[in-house]
Amino acid sequence: MDITALILLFVFGVLLAINVPIAIAIAISTLATMLVTIDSLPAVTTLAQRMSAGMDSFALLAIPFFIFSGFLMGQGGIARRLIDFAKVLVGQLPGGLAFVNVIACALFGSISGSAVAATSAIGGFMIPAMNKEGYDKNFNTAVTVTASTTGMLIPPSNILIIYSLASGGVSIAALFIAGYLPGILVAISLMCVCGIYAKRRGYPVGQRESFATAIKKTVGAIPSLFLVVLVIGGIIGGYFTPTEAGAIAVVYSLVLSMVIYKEIKPNQIPAILTKSVTTTAIVMLLIGASAAMSWLLSYENIPQEISAGLLGITENKIILLLLINVLLLVVGTFMDMTPAVLIFTPIFLPIVETLGISPLHFGIIMILNLSIGLCTPPVGSVLFVGCSVGKTSIAQVIKPLIPLYIAMFIALALVTAFPQISEYLPKAFGLY
């Protein structure tokens, strides 16, 4: 391996080990590697230029809009109405509250585009409710944590926009529509585990809603659910771009939260805006730093060396995909999704394209794979938030997480082996 790659890995690993924030670790390790071959001033200037260039994309404007709309949804009463709707659908089944948790997390995650937001909003309601009904607290937290990651696949999803940028322009509309079936597959896999777990533990069956109550709760959730139709339908229909869809999502969320549901007051908007700006700044710093590292890797021909190394091991499509999936699973345990996508897409995408795998299919594989990392220690952000909401510890949650991990691995294997799961809908809608 080239000396520059070794320096990059060493500095990056040391910084992560001493708990330096991931964006800072990426930027410093990139700069340290540059300093080996060029003077300090050109190195700093190049780093700044590459970070700036990495954030200079019109498509990325969609991210702050979706982040803001996600915060509005989290405080605007949408989570509670989606939970009520999920109860109408599956609440009367054995272990129904666990099913409600999965469906509500998937719905809210898809609407807000944030796994962390889904964990906080849905977990805040569902974990105490499940505790009250006699469900195990650690199991409840584990279900919330894993189910919230489905929002990374079901659109609108910020990480799919970032993958589009990293891949060199895969259609965002095609990626959005491609995420539906894999996201639903993950949710169904988790629900199967929940059903088995609930039956073995003898968890209670929820009460069947009266017809009038079911209609009332369904009607109450329709305005929230319509946001997905508005955003995705508008993008697929060509009425507006993903960035414009983000702006429309903000306006719609404001009207929904302040006018229809009346759960956000005007004096709460500044605080929500502050949270949105802070989150956006973190995301954009990650994007800029990761883009700089990605440029350095490309400049040093490291992707080509890795590609040659992997193809030198084997040219078997199945084995290579297995190796890449294992590598991404390892990466996902210690790196956030945004830098992982920006850094490793240029490395692995050329390899899988030589095997005849489409960038669209690989993007869904990568996002699903890295989503598992969101709920695994030591860095899983969703896992930490879930344990905080559930008032438990990571050590206690790991045991009930294991069967849910297995379900997600099975879903990943199916999506990897059958590209039709990712590509069917985009082809059906003429997007790919």
pLDDT in tens, 331-371: 888 888 889 999 999 989 988 998 889 999 999 999 999 99
Q: Which two tokens stand for residue 12?
A: 């990056």
| pLDDT at residue 266 is higher than 60 | yes
pLDDT grade for 413, boundaries at 50, 70 and 90: very high
Supply the pLDDT for residue 1. Answer: 52
Mean pLDDT of 383-402: 90
DSSP 261: S
Q: Considering only 211-215, 256-260, 387-391, 398-402, which range has the smallest mean pLDDT?
A: 211-215
**Which amino acid, one-letter code, is at 35?**
L
The confidence score (pLDDT) of residue 192 equals 94
**CB distance 135 to 97 below 8 Å:** yes
More confident residue, 381 or 177: 177
**CA geometry: angle at 122 spanning 98 and 232, to 5°?**
105
Say if residues 199 and 95 touch (Cβ distance below 8 Å).
Answer: yes
Question: How many Å apart are CA 347 and CA 360, to the nearest integer?
Answer: 16
DSSP three-state, residue 312: helix
Nearest to 62 by CA among 290, 247, 292: 247
Q: What pLDDT, on the 0 to 100 scale, is given for residue 97?
A: 85
In this prediction, residue 162 has a pLDDT band, given cuts at 50, 70 and 90, of very high
Note the pLDDT of residue 365. 96
CA atoms within 13 A on the CB side of 122: 41
Q: Is the pLDDT of residue 206 over 70?
A: no
Ordered by start, the domain boundaries in the chain are 3-428
pLDDT above 90: percentage of residues in the chain: 38
CA distance 422 to 181: 7
What's the longest Cα–Cα distance across the chain? 73
Residue 224: pLDDT band (50, 70, 90) is confident
Q: What is the mean pLDDT of residues 386-398?
A: 90
Give the pLDDT of residue 145: 94
Average pLDDT across the chain, whole number: 88
- Name the residue type at position 314: T
